[in-house]
Structure formats: structure tokens, C-alpha cells
Amino acid sequence: MTQDAPKRGLARNVANYGDRDFALYLRRSFAKSMGYSQAMLDKPVVGIADTGSDFNNCHRTIPDLIEAVKRGVLAAGGLPLAFPTLSLSEPSLFPTSMHYRNLSAMETEALLTAQPMDSVVLIGGCDKSVPAQLMAAASADIPAVQLVVGPMLATPFQGERLSACTDCRRYWAQYRAGTVTAERIGQIEGRLATTAGTCGVMGTASTMACLAEALGMIPLGHGSIPAVHADRLRAAEEAGALAVKLITAPVLPSQIITEASVENALRVLLALGGSTNALIHLTAIAGRRGIKIDLGRLNALSDSTPVLVDLKPTGEGYMEDFHAAGGMPALLWELRDLLHLEAIDVTGTSLRERLVAPAFVDRRYIRARGEPVSPVGGIVALFGSLAPRGAILKRSAATAALFETEARVVVFDGLEDMAARIDDPALDVTKDDILVLKNAGALTPAGMPEAGYLPIPSKLARAGVKDMVRMSDCRMSGTAFGTIVLHITPEAAAGGPLGLVESGDRVRLSVAKRSLDLLVDAAELERRRAQWTPPAKATRGWDRLVQEQVLQADEGCDLAMLRLEG
Ligand code: FES
């Protein structure tokens, strides 16, 4: 091997010993120890990012998917090499999987640029894994195909269907209200997630799979295939073959993730009635390419994008219904006049070329434009004295009667305070109050958990209260529902006005005016600000890096140093 040899396959990114030929000689000799023939070692290399883990139930099919990707790569003439990366399992991580999304993105980016691969298939699925992989691909900017594990199937149970995690929350709320017994909640626990795959509703994982398809990083029609369906393996095989093709005819993430495709993804998020978390993730992915998502623009898009998909948590269907109904090809066709059709995907073709009239659409789950679930989009941004840089409300999952509310607030200083007092029979709270949780944003040790779905105080739940206005600087699961204001920015720990709110203050929410205001006079707020102290800093490790670098929700909660500036 000489200096003139093409720097592809194993010849890419050789270790820096000061003698490139020697470094390559060493690498090839070690690679031979794995039993590859010379002919195999001469082929272009497709990396396969493996996020399987015994801690990650959603990803338990990844070994099968890797085998299928390898089939596709080998048949197309490449050498497939799988490598492990962080596995982010939503229910298995403390304090939250969100706290580790950026760590996974950093690690994956480093491995994409450090290891000798010409292209990559990224296998993810559970909530934060796909955002992390897309952030990494956007930064590394090597040819990349996103593959998702796919959604789980819903389980028939005593005349209804159950799936994580909207039904988990629905039954848990009934259990708290005393209308479901301990025995029944125990039975249901074993029926909520019975197959491999990501949550079976339009939660964050499903939303991100659809947005990855809308962005163009997943081939059209592949995002919603159920985890256990044979088509999921065929999609994996295709992803492998496509990754080989991308080596000779590259289409880079920087060509795919553009202003146009990001706006298409925003339209899709709104039409899905998708997860609010996806807005943070899309902002972070776009930020890796220097693209800013403006919340004012989000409101303009929301007012002109109907909700067309009728799935839980806001509707009745599950992801398997969405897929069988036509999936993203049908939804994008329905939205086509609102989309930037020049946007290309990982196959190098424009949306205009890819979209064709679907032969069949099940209108129970994907509505026609003339008969939307809602004439306007699922998410709106709010601004005002309580949220100078914005906050988010998923209006499609909220109670319209609460959209215009001015009320007294009951404040919890943090998660521990909320846990200690929310069910206290002596808590001074009525159904007309607003519940406020502060100190739970990205800067806090809580790691911006999905705690924005504050439980209804049990004495109110037992009295039949189903929804109240709730507000916080944290997030909400994409599978949750209620009149819930999220991502208040700046967060309390960053010195935002939220940190100054006290029980008994009044707050005004107006969805019509897109406003969120704290009705406390300026002098009183100044008095409180003089007494406010910032939270203690973490002293070491990842927690310290997060506290020094993490951006606020309106900037995607990425680490500042990882964004592409300009
Ligand atoms: Fe993995 Fe819901 S727990 S997607």
C-alpha cells in the first residue's frame, strides 16, 4: 500500500503515528486477525451504529437488524462493520435520557469521524437515540442512512387495545383517582408493552421517526414499519445497500438537512399533532447545520398547517394503524402544497420526484385536508413576561376551555417539593388554580425531565378533575396530554422570571394571543430577584460540562460548542 492509494475503506482516518504507510500496514494486519480475506478488506466500509443494550427494551431487535443491514451491504459490495454506541433507553436512565442525548451525539460523531468508514447506517429508535444520531450525522457530515427499530404493536386486552405509553398514563391517572384497583393496574402493567419496538403511539420516538423521514434521512415509507414486521428487516437490508451506493454517489447530511427540509419537518410535526420534545430535538439537529428554528415562524406554520393524523395521545389510533393507513407517503402527499418539494433525501431525489398519489389511505387515521382533526397545527409557542424567549403548548392535546385562563398559581420549587406536597390533603389548591413547577430545566441536576405532566393533586383527581393548567421549565412525554405549558425559557435556574414566581401570584395564559404573563409588578419582581441565588454547580464530569455548555430549550438544549455557528 502506498501514499497514493485511495483513502477509503480501511485506508481512511489512519492512526497518527507519523508514518501513514506503517499505520495502515498495522491496521490491516490487525484487521486480518478477525479472519477477513484481503478481498473483503479492500472493499469500501459501511459502519453500523449499534445502540442495542440489555437495558434498552425498545432496541431488542437490533441484532436482527444489524444482520439484515450487513446482508444489504455485502450484496452491494461493501464491508459492513458494526460498532457499539451509547444506548439511550427512556425508562432506564437517571435522571433522564435527555441528560445524555448530547453525550450520545458527541460520542457518535467522534466515532463517525475517527473510525475508517465511508458511510454509516445509524440504528436507533427509543426517544433520544434518533435525535442524537441525527445530530452526530449532521456534524460529521459523512454519508448516513437513519434506520429505526420501529414501533411496538398494541396488545388486545379485555376488549380494548393497549400500548405504551399513553395508556400507561391514562390508567395511572385512573388509579390515582381511585377508579382503577391495585390488582387491575398490576394486570395492565404486563400488557402495555408486549413486543419489541418503540412506544406504539405518536410519542417522541414515533414523531422523530416521522420527522427523520420528512427531513430525508430515512427513505420514504420506512419510518413507521412496526418493529416485528418482516418489512422492518427488508428496510434494514435496503438501508445497507443504500449506504454502499452513497459511497460512490454521495448525498451528504449537509445537503439533506437544509432550511427547506427543516421547515418540511416542522410542518409534519404540526400535522402529526406530534411530540413537543421533537421541537427541541429538531432545533438541535438544525443547529448542527447552522439553521435556526424561530418560534415566531413556528406559530405562523402552526396557523396554516392542519392536524391530519389521528393517533394517541390525542386521537384513537396506534402507530401500526398509521403505517397501515399509508404512513408518511400518504401524509406528505396530503400536505404537498405546503412543502418545499425541492428538498432531497438520502436517495438523492427530490420530494417532488418521490411523492406519488397513494393507492389507499385509511381516513380514520390520516385525514384528508378537507376533513382535518384540527384546522390548525398541534403546537403553539407562547411569549410574555413569564417566558421572554418562549414556551410551548401542545394545543391538540389540551382542553380548549382552559386556553384563556387567568388564575392564582400553586408553585412547587422542584421535583422533590412537588413529590412531597402534591398529594398532601392540606395543599391549598383548587381546580381553577394553575400548577407551576420550577427548577426542572436543562441546567438543573433534574436534567429537564418529562415531569411537565404534573399529576392532578389526588384530592382533586378523586373529585373528578381531569385537567388543569400546568406550567414548567421541563418537558412532557410525547405520549402525555393535558393543558400543559412546557419549556418556559429562560428556565428558572438560568435566572428566568419563572424562578421568581411564588404561590399566590397570578398568571395569565392566552392561547389566542400566544401570551404567557406573570401578573406581578416590576418592583416586587426586582425585590425577589435581589434575593434569588443561582443553583450550585456540579463539580466534575458530564454534569459539569452540561451546566457549563447546555443551551436553553429555544436553542435545542444542545451544548453550545457543538453547534455550527453561522
Ligand atoms: Fe423507548 Fe418509549 S420507552 S420509545
Write out pLDDT tens, residues 299-319.
999 999 999 999 998 888 999
Task: Report the amino acid identity of residue 508.
Answer: R
Q: Is the pLDDT of residue 5 over 60?
A: no
Q: Are residues 347 and 425 in the same domain?
A: no
Q: Are residues 97 and 228 in the same domain?
A: yes
How much is the pLDDT for 477? 86
Q: Are residues 205 and 267 in the same domain?
A: yes
Q: How far apart are CA 280 and CA 181, in angstroms?
A: 37
Q: Is the pLDDT of residue 186 over 60?
A: yes
Task: Report the amino acid identity of residue 372.
Answer: P
Q: Are residues 213 and 258 in the same domain?
A: yes
Q: Is the pLDDT of residue 44 over 90?
A: yes
CA Rg, the chain, in Å?
Answer: 24
| Number of the ligand 1 atom closest to the C-alpha atom of 204 | 4
Question: Dihedral (C-alpha) 168, 498, 288, 96: value to the nearest 10 degrees?
Answer: -40
| Number of the ligand 1 atom closest to the C-alpha atom of 479 | 2
For residue 92 and ligand 1, the question of a CB distance below 6 A is answered with no
How much is the pLDDT for 536? 87
Question: CB of 554 within 8 A of CB of 489?
Answer: yes
Q: Is the pLDDT of residue 566 over 60?
A: no
- pTM metric for this prediction: 0.96
Q: Kindly state whether residue 417 falls inside one of the protein's structural domains.
A: yes
How much is the pLDDT for 535? 85
Q: How far apart are CA 102 and CA 448, in angstroms?
A: 13
| Number of the ligand 1 atom closest to the C-alpha atom of 56 | 1
Nearest to 91 by CA among 171, 1, 198: 198
Q: Please count the helices (runs of H) and the strands (runs of E) in the chain.
A: 20, 14
Q: Are residues 89 and 117 in the same domain?
A: yes
Q: How far apart are CA 194 and CA 208, in angstroms?
A: 22
Of 199, 201, 281, 319, the one to substitute when testing ligand 1's pocket (max ligand atoms within 8 A of C-beta) is 199
How large a percentage of the chain has pLDDT more than 90?
93
Q: Is the pLDDT of residue 480 over 90?
A: no
Give φ, ψ of 543 to 5 degrees.
Answer: -60, -40
Q: Kindly state whether residue 564 falls inside one of the protein's structural domains.
A: no
Give the number of other Cβ atoms within 10 Å of residue 500's Cβ: 21
Q: How far apart are CA 196 and CA 149, in angstroms?
A: 9
Give the number of other Cβ atoms within 10 Å of residue 182's Cβ: 7
Say how many residues make up the chain. 566
- Ligand 1 midpoint to CA 559 (Å): 24
For residue 127 and ligand 1, the question of a CB distance below 6 A is answered with yes
Q: Is the pLDDT of residue 1 over 60?
A: no
> Which H helix or E strand runs over 47?
strand 45-50
CATH of the domain at 435: 3.50.30.80
Q: Are residues 224 and 251 in the same domain?
A: yes
Q: Are residues 332 and 429 in the same domain?
A: no
Q: Is the pLDDT of residue 521 over 50?
A: yes
- Ligand 1 midpoint to CA 92 (Å): 10
Give the number of other Cβ atoms within 10 Å of residue 249's Cβ: 9
Q: How does DSSP classify residue 519?
A: -
For ligand 1, atom 2, name the residue with the nearest CA: 199
For residue 58 and ligand 1, the question of a CB distance below 6 A is answered with yes
Question: CB of 385 within 8 A of CB of 518?
Answer: yes
Q: Kindly state whether residue 329 falls inside one of the protein's structural domains.
A: yes
Nearest to 76 by CA among 238, 231, 236, 212: 238
How large a percentage of the chain has pLDDT more than 70?
99
Q: Are residues 451 and 318 in the same domain?
A: no
Sign of CA dihedral 310, 297, 399, 458: positive
For residue 126 and ligand 1, the question of a CB distance below 6 A is answered with yes
Nearest to 391 by CA among 292, 517, 270, 563: 517
Average pLDDT over the chain reads: 95
For ligand 1, atom 1, name the residue with the nearest CA: 126
pLDDT band at 85 (very low <50, low <70, confident <90, very high): very high
How much is the pLDDT for 6? 55
Q: Are residues 230 and 325 in the same domain?
A: yes
For ligand 1, atom 3, name the residue with the nearest CA: 90
How far is it between the farthest Cα atoms of the chain? 79
Question: CB of 273 within 8 A of CB of 202?
Answer: yes
Q: What is the pLDDT averaged over residues 454-473?
A: 95
How much is the pLDDT for 478? 79
Q: What is the pLDDT averaged over residues 103-121?
A: 98
How much is the pLDDT for 564? 81
Which residue range(s) make up the domain with 431?
A: 379-535
Q: What is the pLDDT averaged over residues 212-221?
A: 98
Condensed to tens digits (0 to 9), the pLDDT of residues 339-393 reads 999 999 999 999 999 999 999 999 999 999 999 999 999 899 999 999 999 999 9
Q: Kindly state whether residue 185 falls inside one of the protein's structural domains.
A: yes
